[in-house]
Structure 1
Amino acid sequence: MSATHPIIGVTGSSGAGTSSAMAVLKGLFAGLGLTPAIVEGDAFHAYDRDGNRKAIERAHIRGENFSLFGPAGNHLDRLEALLREYGETGTGVFRHYLHTEAEARAAGQSAGTFTPWQPLPQGTDVLFYEGLHGGYVGEDADIHRHMDLLIGVVPVINLEWIQKIRRDTEERGHHPEDVMRTILRRIPDYVTYITPQFSRTDVNFQRVPLVDTSNPFTVRDIPKPEESLVVIHFNEHSRLRADIDELGDAIDGAYTPNAHSLVVPGPQMEAAMELILAPAIEALAETRRRLLAGA
């Protein structure tokens, strides 16, 4: 963590809906005049698409489990090195993973590959990480300790699977059966490495559908926001100083089931994110400006 070079993370598994949080945060950065260095967790996978396929095959032959949820599928040491360097100097080295054909054409490469490692842009005010491992803690790396603010986005598991199947088939061209096999294969790593992170976040946004998602492998329509509720939970160690009762009064249709949680209608999720996160980001920005002015 660094007051001069703050780091904000959004952690959530593939298809969890982190794009909504990213949009809100980018809007808040722009409103505060902050230039973010954006780092995607996918860029720190250990293998490109072809290499990942081969790693899965090798693990299957050996009777081992392998997935991008676990540390074996990622360069978490390099991610931590980037976060450490950014916190100290505002610099670091990153790359991009090219998911789609459009991204690949723009980069002059093939889909499923990485761009070369390159320095972060100069003159950024905050590093914004979005990916699977923002709250990861292990013997190989401790990503969580570098976060000045950590946000979890985690829908109920059936909804998460529906969103992943829909996204990977429509946007990335995967077959539904292949996506289903991926979901089943990585469940052990999800339980071991992903779910514990949500106990380390400052706040979690969990979307809960109000329509039937009993069999996520047959449901193809993602529940609309108006067909959902969002459970917002502040962990006991949260660095956010939100007054839940005041938030409940400010958001139409919200209610507070307990002292640490707020429930809002699905269409109000982004508005709730703005109300909750804006003061914290503004405080980080003001501390940074004050320190730089006194340097």
Structure 2
Amino acid sequence: MSIEHPIVAVTGSSGAGTTTVMNSFQHIFRREKLNAQIVEGDAFHRYDRLAMRAAMKEAEQTQRQFSHFGPEANLLEELAALFAEYAATGRGRVRKYLHDEAEAAQYGLEPGMFSPWMDLEPPTDLLFYEGLHGGFVGRGIDVAQHADLLVGVVPIINLEWIQKLHRDKTLRGYSQEAVMDTILRRMPDYAHHICPQFSRTHVNFQRVPTVDTSNPFTARDIPSADESFVVIRFTNPKGIDFPYLLTMLHDSFMSRPNVIVVPGGKMGLAMQLIFTPMILQMIDRQRRAA
């Protein structure tokens, strides 16, 4: 953790909605005129798209557990090193995973490949990470220790599967069978390497639908924000102004001393109300130290 070079990390599995959270933070950064270094977790995958397919095929042949959720498929030592270096100096090296043709064209490469490693361009006010492993701890690697604010995004598992099914089938053209195979293959790594991170987070957001999601594999659409609640859990509720949040977030309520439940449509507003003062406190400490 660092006063001079703070790190905010959002962690959650594929299809959990971490990108939506990233957009909320970017609104805060723009409004408060903060220069945030954005780091995408995909950039720390060990293999590009073609190499990952080959590695998965080899793992299947040898009946070895392997997925993007696990350590073997990611450069977690390099991620921890980036966090440590940034916290100490405000510097580090990053790259981008090139998701589509538009991104790849900027580097003269093919989609599914990585850009070259590049040095961060200081000065920045903070580093913002969004990906699978912002709270990872294991195998002598501790990514979580460097995060000044660690946020978990955790829809209940059936909702997470529905979101992944619709995204991968609609946007990526995968068959339902292929997506189901991916979900099942990832489950051991999800249990061992993703779930434990949510016990290390400072704040968790868990969206819970209020419609029937009993069979996620036959769901015709994704439950909307208005068809859900968001359970927000604070590891340390000290300093959280719950009466203010209850007043500002209509129809919200407390379910435990450290948990507030808000209507799904107010998730973005809740993030603004909760994280803006936290970010400003980080920046105030940073400027006082300087």
Q: Considering the TM-score relative to the shorter chain, is it more than 0.5?
A: yes
Aligned to 2:150: 150
* C-alpha contact (below 8 Å) 1:244/1:259 kept by paired residues: no
Which letter maps to 1:138? G
Unaligned runs of 5+ in 2: none
CA distance, structure 2, for counterparts of residue 241 and residue 178 of structure 1: 46
TM-score of the aligned structures, taking structure 2 as reference length: 0.96
Structure 1 residue 106, shift from structure 2 partner: 3.8
Aligned mates of 1:252, 1:106 — CA distance in 2: 45
TM-score scaled by length of structure 1: 0.95
* Residue 112 (structure 1) shift: 1.1
Q: How is 1:34-113 mapped onto 2 (pairs within 5 angstroms)?
A: 34-113=34-113
Tell me which amino acid in the other structure corresponds to 1:230.
V
* Matched positions, count: 290
Task: Pick from 254, 258, 267 the counterpart of residue 252 of structure 2.
Answer: 254
Q: Distance in 2 between matches of 1:122 and 1:145?
A: 22
Write out per-residue CA displacement over residues 205-224 of structure 1, whole angstroms, 9 at most, x where no aligned residue: 00011112111122141111
| Distance (whole Å) between structure 1 residues aligned to residue 135 and residue 202 of structure 2 | 10
- Counterpart Cα distance in 2 of 1:130 and 1:276: 18
Structure 1 runs of 4+ off > 3 angstroms? none
Task: Pick which of 161-170 and 178-187 moved more.
Answer: 161-170
- The residue that corresponds to 2:269 in the other structure is 271
Residue by residue over 1:190-212, the C-alpha shift from the partner in whole angstroms, topping out at 9 and shown as x without a partner, is 00000010010001000011112
The residue type paired with residue 284 of structure 2 is E
The separation in 2 between residues aligned to 1:44 and 1:167, in whole angstroms, is 22
Equivalent residue letter for 2:92: G
* Equivalent residues in 2 for 1:102-251, closer than 5 Å: 102-236=102-236, 241-251=239-249
**Displacement after TM superposition at 1:36 (Å):** 0.5
- 1:162–1:100 CA distance, 2 compared to 1 (3 A): farther
Return the alpha-carbon distance in structure 2 between the equivalents of residues 174 and 95 of structure 1. Answer: 27
Output the aligned Cα RMSD. Answer: 1.4
Work out whether residues 100 and 171 of structure 1, in 8 Å CA contact, stay in contact via their aligned partners in 2.
no
**Identity rate, percent:** 52
Are the equivalent residues in 2 in contact too, given 1:244–1:260 (CA < 8 A)? no
How far, CA to CA, are the matches of 1:211 and 1:121 in structure 2?
A: 46
The letter for the 2-side match of 1:244 is F
* Partner amino acid, structure 1, of 2:42: D
Task: Give the drift of 1:177.
Answer: 2.1
Measure, in 1, the Cα distance between the counterparts of 2:100 and 2:172: 6
User: What secondary structure, in the 3-state scheme, does the structure 1 residue paired with 2:173 have?
Assistant: coil
